[in-house]
Structure 1
């Protein structure tokens, strides 16, 4: 029987990964505060070493391996940021790493993983296709470290919430990007234990929001993976999901969806008003605020989760060009 992930697991993970990850800053957003009438702060996790929060969970998982597991090497499936974090953590620990990805993953994210020293295998048109290759490698003896549904991954991601609550006291709302649920499960667990009255709101894209659709259905379901500016939020939750589906159900108060146009507007806002380069998945919380989908955010922390956007695409978006990801895929 699977064990519950606890606040103690979060504190243990924080101690374990100390020195391996950055403590990222929180910054006030005068422009978003003026727009919403609340006090809006941005948790700038895109400034993490590998450009996203994923390094926290990957580092905790790799550092928790036994010597025998390290000797066999690690493998994972990724839309980009988990793969980069896992590749970096494995390299630091001297562990072999293979990342399996679908053809939908942007080339810049593939290149970023290769730059960290991992082997990349491109398989099929979905995360599920790439997972089949992972399963083969696991059968050959490698250790799978998945992107979200894993206790050490979730505990590592949860350390972000411990930092946030030390940096900013008594938020009434926290906005967290939502995909497979590894981040929001960990963050939600910590916040509901330490600040129970704080609303935890997940934000995903309208195109292929697997966790949202699964929560609506009351169980994990298959959802078509579609091209989106929030590409890091793509992929399913796994029909055999052990942790994040139930943790999202327990710790998340609401899930909101944002459109491609709203995501693009948030990327532009982050650049021109906040002086931050962020990817589509990292912008969804800002998008939800700008579109008026968050009610009464009197003191709100927005998790900005990643910056690993293709810079040519970023230039087009901040220049005001209409970008149709469906046509470009």
Structure 2
């Protein structure tokens, strides 16, 4: 199941690459030594916002400006990287942007969104309550509400899958985190459009397992709360559209512990000297969990973002696991 054609994806890649170069995909030798197999890391932490979502914002805003130039502004909800993506793209498009974040959101992600030009509004206890407020602001101001899952967002982020699979078409198994689902759906779409057989595995926190529960049930299953420091995957209510693509195209979903995510952040720093936020390290945590069964395979992981607050990083590098944000 794909949302767009190969021609659409190639056009999206041209849009993205006019703004930023492809991100690297490296097979780090220390990771190979640690896990006993080749591990390719797709470095989506090496984008202008330090996360993969910048790609979706570029593509979404391009279509919006072309097809609806009368739009007065845009509004969305985020835990940080989606908001930075829209702020980056909205600045280039010359559109006002309001972003709603929950109370207690990452201080440094909030600062980055403001630096890109977003109006930041704090509301609610989690992403889903922030999303409700963003929808209300859209109605009040006549702004376009930008969801976290949309065809153009998926097509934009699928360009990192296109880059990865063109550089490494022989990947046997690929692990990627699941926030609201655009990244994983983009990878599934890129793989299918290229006709590859790579097994794609989604990753969630044990304490934010709505997508795992939903895949098991074959329908959207909401959870009452999330309890993970990996804010990028702290989702209570899955997207039905994303879920359908994941059920159709992902091999399975792996749940990882908070301690395992923290250890993966430390592993990235020790073995590659790259910073990873919690969501960005989740895929490596899943690979670490399953490494004994992967001998002889070529594996890949998505380092989806590096936007981790300094106090959280210090706590992790000191050997501890942070509490939920």
TM range (shorter): over 0.9
Contact 2:177 2:280 in 1 (8 A): yes
3-state SS of paired residue (1:196): coil
**2:98 and 2:323 mapped to 1: Cα distance?**
28
State the partner residue of 1:99: 99
Aligned to 1:261: 259
Q: 2:113 is matched with which residue?
A: 113
Alpha-carbon distance in 1 for matches of 2:217, 2:292: 23
C-alpha distance in 2 between matches for 1:161 and 1:102: 30
Superposed CA offset, 1:236-286 (max 9, x none): 345xx4521111111111110111111111111111111111111100111
How many Å separate the matches in 1 of 2:121 and 2:286?
A: 34
Tell me the equivalent position of 2:289.
291
Q: Cα distance, 1:17 vs. partner?
A: 2.3
**Any residues of structure 2 matched to 1:208-219 within 5 Å, and which?**
208-219=208-219
Unpaired runs of 5+ residues, structure 1, are none
Residue of structure 2 equivalent to 1:127: 127
Instruction: Name 2:17's counterpart in structure 1.
Output: 18
Question: 2:35 touches 2:291 (CA, 8 Å); kept in 1?
Answer: no
The CA distance in 1 between the partners of 2:292 and 2:195, in whole Å, is 19
Match of 1:277 in 2: 275
Alignment coverage as a number of residue pairs: 321
Which deviations, in whole Å up to 9, do the C-alpha atoms of 1:177-203 show, x marking residues without a partner? 112110100111111332432100111
Any conservation in 2 of the 1:175–1:302 contact (CA below 8 Å)?
A: yes
| Cα distance in 1 for residues equivalent to 2:169 and 2:322 | 40
- Deviation larger for 263-272 or 123-132: 123-132
Rounded to whole Å, the distance in 1 between the matches of 2:240 and 2:11 is 21
CA shift for structure 1 position 102: 1.0
Q: 1:18 to 1:188 in 2, by over 3 A?
A: same
Q: Once the 2 structures are TM-superposed, how far is the Cα of residue 294 of structure 1 from its aligned partner?
A: 7.4
Q: Is contact 2:232–2:279 with CA below 8 Å preserved after alignment?
A: yes
- Pairs within 5 Å for 1:152-163: 152-163=152-163
| Matches of 2:44 and 2:292, distance apart in 1 | 21
Deviation readout 1:53-76 (Å, 9 max, x if unpaired): 000001110111135456411111
Q: Deviations over 1:93-117 (max 9, x none)?
A: 1111011111242211111111111
Moved more, 76-85 or 242-251: 242-251
Alpha-carbon separation, structure 1, partners of 2:100 and 2:71: 19
The C-alpha deviation readout for 1:213-239, integer Å capped at 9, x for no partner, is 22122111221332322111112345x
| Structure 2 residue ranges without an equivalent (≥5) | none
In 2: Cα distance, 1:294 partner to 1:87 partner = 42
User: Which residue matches 2:248?
Assistant: 250
Q: In the superposition, relative to structure 1, how do residues 285 and 250 fare at CA in structure 2: closer, same or farther (>3 Å)?
A: same
TM-score normalised by structure 1 residue count: 0.92
Distance 1:252 1:58 in 2: 24
- Give me the whole-angstrom Cα distance separating, in 1, the residues matched to 2:125 and 2:159: 32
Q: Are the equivalent residues in 2 in contact too, given 1:210–1:223 (CA < 8 A)?
A: yes
Say what the alpha-carbon RMSD is for the aligned residues: 1.8
Bigger shift: residues 125-134 or 84-93: 125-134
1:179–1:209 Cα contact (<8 Å) kept: no
Q: Paired residue for 1:305?
A: 304
SS class of match (1:41): strand
Give TM-score, length-normalised by structure 2: 0.93
Residue matched to 2:143: 142
Give the direction of change, closer, same or farther, for the CA distance of 1:10–1:51 in structure 2 (3 Å limit). Answer: same
- C-alpha distance in structure 1 between counterparts of 2:113 and 2:292, whole Å: 35
What is the alpha-carbon distance in structure 2 between the residues aligned to residue 246 and residue 232 of structure 1?
Answer: 21
Cα shift at 1:30: 1.5
The answer to whether the Cα contact below 8 Å between 1:84 and 1:116 also exists between their aligned partners in 2 is: yes
